[in-house]
Structure 1
């Protein structure tokens, strides 16, 4: 019995000694291990241009567009244009047969000359009091009728010539010489696309930000590497009660005629733009309704600053107050530092590749 007790006491003393030695060793190792200064990634507060954007899809329309047709029923005498031709205002496009109208016009001119000669002859006789003045009134009326007849035949002749009402680009030719055309028959189309209109819907919640003169940046699938710049020309007077959106119209210069009516474009409407202080969005530390930045002082110590955040874009945030341009803020490593702590800084992340020599 005594031997058993003695053996238990010896075993307990051995376990206690082992634990004491282990704890003592750990404590000494902890005291001997130096504390390292944390390293953080930083950037400087910069002044950049920030803008508020509204993204939308729009449809291109010609500034002026018309389907050209004739006013009378007649056969085509000659076609004076080609498909896709650029023309100026007043360019002759189509001639209809006009022989009958030419003859009527010549007869009307001759009749007007005859009536004017007779009027001048009678006028002299009236002044000599040889003929009553009532005869002069009758001839004056005949001259007016002859002028009206001449104007009528001139209009009928002009209707046999189709001219471009404005400068633009013609579409496909739909008639040939000898074709019998009637009023409403489509001859071709004419589009003025030196400047195009871009119509796009904007949700009604942005209505207060819409105004003529706002800048628009648009792109088309046909030209993926090109950005077309335009300005808002007008805003529709009504909001669609179904989609709760309002249509905005912008004008885009198109000197090389790259944009065509009917094209779909993706666009950004710039509703607000200004130069301001900007930091990476990842540097902002949100805490309830407040926002903070970790600022690195001149002696590499962390200082916590409350800031006011304004506009936000992809990866960037505007700082309205709390820091100055040129100050250094922490963008990575915020979780391992605290205010007042000294740190080492670097401009970017360092990634190592295992096995690299």
Structure 2
């Protein structure tokens, strides 16, 4: 029953027994910020292992899923490239020794005025060129990680650059590998992974490095996991108006796998806010209303602006004041 702008509940209405009224509360709340994301390996801890030489894979020292330590052998190639590199180093060393002898002889003859200066300078130049060529071949062997000592000059052993686990294998024993840009296997340390989330531009100010985050994974729908913000992107995506945020997640138990979809919720800074039970809100067209008590069983409909959901309560951004009493149950029955 309407009494001007007020809605009155008649004395004989059964609504009086079920209608509940409570005061609007002011409390410290944290505005949650949610964003979609996915699990990724740390870029610095994922290595696609390529061979700098071509050859036939004669031995795989590690298989898919094996744990490795930095320096452990991964696979061995029978490589003609390596043999050629050793041959070039041997020839360069022999040429250097000969050039050194020729230069020493020409120097003695020149100092005794027996030979012309041009012969002495030519020997000096040849000695310098031979020294440079020998150093180049040594550097090439050092780059390949091959010593100049004994052992096979065809077997090239490639070792793991990091500790971790073999997570991908593309080479097969007995196969010929002729693409030095293609990875034979991939080694990754997944003890710590990252959730990379796309956070809206309007929420960037509420984020900071070191902030805690709650992670929900599609693979584990009944569990939530904790993480810590490690990096907030420096560049905004012009198309989506979002920034990349990386959250570090402890993965020593191996439950998180790169590529998994997730949702992350960041806790904003605490601030005082008015909250009401979700049951107090009534949707009326494009507007949200509550019914404010103006007297015994007399209510006024009032439009409110709502914020985020906090548990079973909702933040009120405008339209109410702390302490005002509103219908929190069966208020929808007061709606026109």
Residue 66 and residue 153 in structure 1: after superposition, are their counterparts in 2 closer, same or farther (change >3 A)?
Answer: closer
1:183 matched residue in structure 2: 179
Mapped contact 1:75–1:181 kept (Cα < 8 A): yes
Residue 312 and residue 251 in structure 1: after superposition, are their counterparts in 2 closer, same or farther (change >3 A)?
Answer: closer
Deviations 1:141-181 (A, max 9, x none): 22222222333455467593434455543224444443322
How many matched pairs? Answer: 285
Question: Does 2:56 correspond to 1:61?
Answer: no
1:171 matched residue in structure 2: 167
Residue 291 and residue 330 in structure 1: after superposition, are their counterparts in 2 closer, same or farther (change >3 A)?
Answer: closer
In structure 1, stretches of 5+ residues that fail to align are 1-35, 240-244, 336-357
Residue 117 and residue 55 in structure 1: after superposition, are their counterparts in 2 closer, same or farther (change >3 A)?
Answer: closer
In structure 2, stretches of 5+ residues that fail to align are 1-15, 147-154, 332-336
2:227 matched residue in structure 1: 229
C-alpha RMSD of matched pairs (Å): 4.8
Question: Does 2:249 correspond to 1:254?
Answer: yes
Question: Does 2:79 correspond to 1:81?
Answer: no
Mapped contact 1:280–1:331 kept (Cα < 8 A): no
> With structure 2 as the length reference, what TM-score do the two structures score?
0.61
Secondary structure (helix, strand or coil) at the match of 2:214 reads: strand
Question: Does 2:137 correspond to 1:149?
Answer: yes
Residue 139 and residue 129 in structure 1: after superposition, are their counterparts in 2 closer, same or farther (change >3 A)?
Answer: farther
Secondary structure (helix, strand or coil) at the match of 2:259 reads: coil
Question: Does 2:142 correspond to 1:162?
Answer: no
> With structure 1 as the length reference, what TM-score do the two structures score?
0.58
CA distance in 1, matches of 2:110, 2:220: 79
Cα deviation for residue 51 of structure 1 reads 0.4
Deviations 1:281-333 (A, max 9, x none): 3457999999785599xxx9x999x9986633154234679756xx6955547
Residue 139 and residue 76 in structure 1: after superposition, are their counterparts in 2 closer, same or farther (change >3 A)?
Answer: same
Cα deviation for residue 75 of structure 1 reads 1.7
Question: Does 2:35 correspond to 1:51?
Answer: no
1:136 matched residue in structure 2: 124
Question: Does 2:208 correspond to 1:213?
Answer: yes
CA distance in 1, matches of 2:289, 2:172: 75
Residue 116 and residue 102 in structure 1: after superposition, are their counterparts in 2 closer, same or farther (change >3 A)?
Answer: same
